Structure 1
Amino acid sequence: MIAIPGTPQHRRLQLLHVAAATWLLLVSATVVIDHVVLSNLAEEAKDRTPAMRIAVLEGRMDELAQQLEQYRQRPTALPQTRYESERLALDQRIAAVEAALGDRPTTDALQSLLARLERMEERLASARPTPSASVRPRVPAPVRPRPIEPAFRVIGVELRAGERFLAILPTDAAALTQVRLLRPGEAEAGWRLEAIESGTAVFRHGDETRRLTVPER
């Protein structure tokens, strides 16, 4: 059926064509916009997942670094050469992981990093130094003080006016003229004569009591 130009039927047909074209344009624009939005969401999801996992890996790396620093400061019962080699190996692995994190790894690379981190944690646990058993310091035995010797020697007993005297001579004396006579109760160089007994003279020096032999004359 052909509409005659200028008639109402012809104008109605033109409006239908315009409406159909407009509807097609709107549908096409909606499809394009939805496609762009979905593509952006997919890209963001791809970028966000590695970033989140990288953040988790970085946190684990910080924990491992802190543990390693603590183990360095602890006393170790392992041989020094073995511990140094283990520490060097761990440092190299940490450096390799940090370098890999800086390259924004893909999903496969992240899986590889996770596996390497697990192996590094196992090595760290095996290389952990065991604290050495505490050894009690040996307490030295108390040193007994050497006894103080009198600065004189007994040379005999003399009887004067019915009273007994003890004759002593300083050890550094050069002549018998330096002989001194002591009666009980008198002292010489801090040594107090307590009594004159048969063959012995009893002296006291502080809390110490000493019996000196009286030579026979």
Structure 2
Amino acid sequence: MFTGIIEAVGTIKAMNINAQGARLVIATNSLDMSDVKLGDSIATNGICLTVVDYDQHSYSADVSNETLQRTGFAHYKVGMKVNLEKAMQASTRFGGHMVSGHVDGISEVLSISSNGNSIEYWLSMPNDLSHYIAEKGSVTVDGTSLTVNALNEQSGNSKFRLTIVPHTVKETVFAYYQVGTKVNLEVDLIARYLERLLTKNQNESADVKSNVTEDLLKKSGFIK
């Protein structure tokens, strides 16, 4: 589990893709690696990766074909900057929101403009995820916990707006975004669980057979 508060911006040092998946080597730059162990999880642009090798300045992780297909990894290249966050601890200050590191879909940066000291980004909203994205709700973009500031829902062209303060731009890969950049999206975890619970209850209710029969109603005097 992660918080969506980025700890460092790393760099893809090596990327070996084959039929079985990929092996990545990430230069961690300013990320503190002193407490990292084999098997630990590090969110890399919002994707929960398992450390299979590491040293003081980098770590290696394997990426499955499933992850390659469902995330922005298909667009990544050696030298690209990525957001890094180590898995949260029980004592961690919960500054963002609950982030699982499981990417739900890919979005695209549609426009970038200044608004005072901040920068506004409009991002595409995949149709199958649009009902999870709410104005003033939480969304994770490349591992960064953010607030949705506005929605523009049009058939086949839905999008949402993020207003990013200078500190966030400086400390994340938002500084490298351009129009057309592909980003990883993870919708709010609570929204997903609520949908599952509500849908399951509705389906179960439809399958329940009532004990109230016409014969019982006649015997009870409700109908003749």
Whether TM exceeds 0.5 here: the answer is no
Higher RCO structure (Cα 8 Å, ≥6 apart): 2
Question: What TM-score results when the alignment is normalised by the length of structure 2?
Answer: 0.16
Give 1 or 2: higher strand fraction: 2
For normalisation by structure 1, the TM-score amounts to: 0.17
